[in-house]
Structure 1
């Protein structure tokens, strides 16, 4: 018996229930496959252009910074300016994701970029965002060999590149996008939802930034298609 089967068997015993009969199992399978919606806030049912605006408003309210650019070619200059404005080093650990290969990093030679997972000495990371949820101002980050989760949490400064076409209104829509890309059985091992820089007020009710992750979160939104 596998570890999974042992855990499920223990849960059944504690509930005083054996394995489901076929009729009950069919109901469960249909419910899982159906992804039935519950209550979804009305503010998510808005035009794509308003979704971008809502996302930016929510992120900035959560102490993240946001800049919008018309194309990928403006990204390196925005990264350079961000590093300069915050007196940060030009050494960057960047995700090996091919989606970032389209960006002309060579246009700003002062940026010293290495690719791979983050280590404790990295101060700045750049990653793509799988998507974002306008409803709450949240980035959706899917883990994998090309998008190591360490880049989201170890460096104190996290820069995320987000295409406006990947912004969704609600969490339900974000999960739909994940299922479309990966398939139900091949979802990423980890999906991180990030709303602003890391913070905590657990210690004497004092707000501390960067307690469990980046002290700063900066999002570059690339408006890759017309948003009305």
Structure 2
């Protein structure tokens, strides 16, 4: 858009709003109401969340406890890279994991060139979209989410929420504190684009793979039901 066209549009906006009172504008905005949330794929939040993730071409594993989660990460590492090394964010939840039990060798810090796998901790999972929400800061460097070939996230099952409206309620305390995050990331699948010849390509602008390990008391058949819903 040219600067001349932009100026004409903004002039029309200013002209249309000239003389309008703030209370009238608020009333007009309120009259639009709120958009309905997308229907969940299943009444069980964990199943709905995992099904949406699978539809988004992410992969999912279940882990009953921290030891099982470490083993799930180790298995994923070996299957994809024949290695047990990765870079992990500085989240205290990750530092407390029993990594030796799974033979995983994490380096804590920011991703460096040549490191293919990064591990992070998801604060919430959104069943509506399948997104895992991470907060960027010293404990979770932004490059760890966007630059590795494979991105692995641990998520507590108890932190799965229904929709984006619920997410904003969860975020409110974080945003009011003096140590608010530098960024909020909603990661719902691996990086993908269809910019070139309308051909879907993964990993063009970020991680080629996204793997979520859901920790908690979730029946194994929940993942099977999610796979059925996703057609996986």
Q: TM-score range by the shorter chain?
A: 0.7 to 0.9
User: Is the aligned partner of 1:82 residue 2:76?
Assistant: yes
1:64, CA displacement in angstroms? 0.7
Measured after TM superposition, the shift of residue 74 of structure 1 is 1.0
Residue 22 (structure 2) aligns with:
24
Cα deviation digits, residues 7-34 of structure 1 (max 9, x gap):
xxxxx988548xxx9x838x87xx9xxx
What 5-or-longer segments of structure 1 have no aligned partner? 1-11
Does 1:216 pair with 2:170?
Answer: no
Distance change >3 Å, CA 225–CA 206, structure 1 → 2:
closer
TM-score when scaled to structure 2? 0.76
> Structure 2: which 5+ residue stretches go unaligned?
1-9, 223-232
Runs of 4+ in 1 over 3 A off after TM superposition: 12-17, 184-187
Structure 1, residues 172-194: CA drift from partner, whole Å, max 9, x if none? 11121111234277642211111
Q: How does 1:198-217 map to 2 (within 5 A)?
A: 198-217=191-210
| Native 8 Å contact 2:60 2:214 kept in 1 | yes
Q: 1:142 aligns with which of 135, 146, 166?
A: 135
Instruction: Give the total of aligned pairs.
Output: 205
Question: C-alpha separation between the residues in 1 aligned to 2:41 and 2:168?
Answer: 14
**2:178 is the counterpart of 1:180:** no
Contact 2:86 2:117 in 1 (8 A): yes
Measure how far apart 1:138 and its partner are: 1.1
- Rounded to whole Å, the distance in 2 between the matches of 1:153 and 1:224 is 30
Aligned position for 1:100: 94
Q: Which residue of 2 aligns with 1:43?
A: 40
Q: Distance in 2 between matches of 1:44 and 1:188?
A: 31
- CA deviations on 1:165-218 (whole Å, 9 max, x unpaired) are 111110111121111234277642211111111111111122211011111110
TM-score normalised to the size of structure 1? Answer: 0.78
Q: Which residue of 2 aligns with 1:170?
A: 163
CA RMSD for the aligned pairs? 3.1
Is 1:158 aligned to 2:156, yes or no?
Answer: no
Secondary structure of the corresponding residue to residue 57 of structure 2? coil
**Matches of 2:148 and 2:82 in 1, distance apart?**
12
Output the CA distance in 2 between the equivalents of 1:143 and 1:90. 25
